[in-house]
Amino acid sequence: MNSNFNLFFYGLGAKFIQFIGVCIIIASLFGFLVHWAVFLIGLIIGIGVIMWGKAMRFDYQRQSGSILHRGDW
């Protein structure tokens, strides 16, 4: 039970990190009004955070057994 509970919050944290990445990208769009470099830096950081969250989400799915690899059948 405790392992599943921790795994649930690991997946929830991954979704939250992806949400933060989207928020950074949206904020960088408003930063475009200040300077184009702010937009580019925010865009790069936002995409990096989203990719980090997606990697965590994939790891969560792998640990929970949602993803079965060809050799696991």
DSSP letters, 2-42, are: HHHHHHHHHHHHHHHHHHHHHHHHHHHHHHTTT-HHHHHHH
Cα 17 from Cα 29, distance rounded (Å): 19
pLDDT attached to residue 50: 94
Q: Is the pTM of this model over 0.95?
A: no
pLDDT attached to residue 7: 75
pLDDT attached to residue 67: 65
CB atoms within 10 A of CB 10: 15
Q: Give the mean pLDDT per block of 10 residues along the chain (73 residues).
A: 70 91 94 89 95 87 69 50
